[in-house]
Amino acid sequence: MSGQHTKNERRRIRRHRIRRKVSGSTARPRLSVFRSSAHIYAQLVDDERGVTLASASSREANLDMSGIESKGKIAKSTAVGRLIAQRAKQAGVSRICFDRGGYLYHGRVKALADGARAAGLDF
């Protein structure tokens, strides 16, 4: 054993370190992000009850890409952020805590967060 960790193991270590500090409640659910190589997924989770309040992903057919020039992954992430914010408002949620899932706050993760903030979520 060389003590070296793979890329996914390092992300898993960061994710668990973040989850020790970030927990969603009924008043302020956790916005959890998962990023695959092609798509991005977001969930609003109430950790006290163990319930997912809303979810959105870039795989959905009804993803609204209006007002976005490009059709790349960052643009889709922004659209997913706006969609999860819209669904959060329908669920009666306006304040959240952000769980980046061990990913760096950069690129697609940042675009999702910016899209959610632009649509009215407070974090």
The verdict on residue 22 lying in a domain is yes
pLDDT digits (tens, 9 = 90+) for 5-48: 999 999 999 999 999 999 888 899 999 999 999 999 999 999 99
The verdict on residue 29 lying in a domain is yes
Q: Check whether 67 has a pLDDT greater than 90.
A: no
Predicted pLDDT of residue 61:
83
Predicted pLDDT of residue 62:
81
Domains of the chain: total: 1
DSSP class of residue 73? H
The verdict on residue 2 lying in a domain is no
Distance separating alpha carbons of residues 106 and 112, to the nearest angstrom: 10
The verdict on residue 123 lying in a domain is no
The verdict on residue 49 lying in a domain is yes
The verdict on residue 1 lying in a domain is no
- CA angle 117-118-120, nearest 5°? 65
CATH number at residue 28: 3.30.420.100
pLDDT digits (tens, 9 = 90+) for 94-118: 999 999 999 999 999 999 999 999 9
The verdict on residue 20 lying in a domain is yes
Range of the domain at 40: 7-118
Question: Which pTM value belongs to this model?
Answer: 0.89
Paired tokens of 58: 């870039």
- CA angle 53-13-15, nearest 5°? 20
The continuous run of DSSP H or E covering 30 comes out as strand 30-35
